Chains A and B, each alone.
Chain A
């Protein structure tokens, strides 16, 4: 998987306009897409929790959102580096996607605050699930809001010509996307296994003590 990323980065041709900095595209965009996917998965598990009242979905939803937040933070960092390299500033409010990620990042940080402030139990699970569902609805709504805000926050909309992808670039992009998704999945399984072990251990300790 790591080899696939490196291969993709080295083989793909450099963009004529942006040069080497364009290569971050192969990391930045897959991470962003994976992060959306994790939030979607978290919301789906949350819906299942409310629907079936099965407590195991709580942990799955939490872990998926945790992964999504980590990948979201990485998106902000790589996006910021890319912005510095191609526009000369670390942060620009005219990049819709980055602003959206900032909003989502704040939202999901609040999700963790909510989780840690409630007592462990079915009520916490349901409250977190409801908030996770709010999050998935917030994504398109915020996106629309940020689009609308552009009109008055930035009268001149920053337009950037998207690089036309050649076949090699597209292959490299797909390979890195697959690699990042795989990475997210592995991390998800590992964290889930860890958390389950933790919960099992706690139950065992309570049973003994």
Chain B
């Protein structure tokens, strides 16, 4: 029970910081909308809906990266992370709290981006939305761990995309597959498998990344 309340407290802290500073979320919203507009001009007239689904996933992954790059910046700037590591709570709770907070930002960005996509490009069915939600879990679980790793290094803004993109390739496959395939179940199953495997791995290994 204390573990759960730690996680809730950490998530609320992140959400409150964001509500007061408003650094990340407006940037993510603006980024995802402007990239959709760019895609309209990047796609040739006869490209069709399938290409648009692919580009939606490019937009999602890069928007998530934008949020993840910012994820540990407040902690880093004020030395909060050292305090959190010293606090008498399980370290994986820090990771879980951050994962939920980034997930909340990503979902908020998508609550705008997906309707905009439907309006501007092509319809999304239930399977495609389920694919987006499942992939979000994986993106945030893996991403918040990698972001913590990258935050310790020089040039962290450069490092995170390099670390993250190879790991995101399976998520893009699952997401695009669930949007355009006539049998989306196997892709959704694959996304769920990815989430489970990498969430457990990130949960177990976070402690090693943040301790000195």
Contact = CB atoms under 8 A, between A and B. Distances in A.
B174 A110 contact: no
Interface stretch (B9-17, B35-43, B106-114, B147-155): B147-155
Contacts, number: 95
A126 B198 CA distance: 17
DSSP class of A's interface residues: helix, strand, loop or mixed? helix
5 contacts: A106-B165, A114-B149, A114-B162, A131-B163, A148-B187
A24 interface: no
A177 B91 CA distance: 44
Contact of A106 (B145, B166, B177, B186): B166
Contact of A138 (B162, B167, B193): B167
Interface residues of B, number: 36
A151 B181 contact: yes
Contact of B173 (A117, A137, A145): A145
Given A50-B208, A145-B174, A137 B198 contact: yes
B81 interface: no
A144 interface: yes
Interface of B: 142, 145, 149-150, 152-156, 159, 162-163, 165-167, 169-170, 173-174, 176-177, 180-181, 186-187, 190, 193-194, 197-198, 201, 205, 208-209, 211-212
Interface of A: 50, 103-104, 106-107, 109-110, 113-114, 117-119, 122-123, 126-127, 129-131, 133-134, 137-138, 141-142, 144-146, 148-149, 151-152
Counting chain A CB atoms within 10 Å of each CB, the highest count among B159, B163, B201 belongs to B163
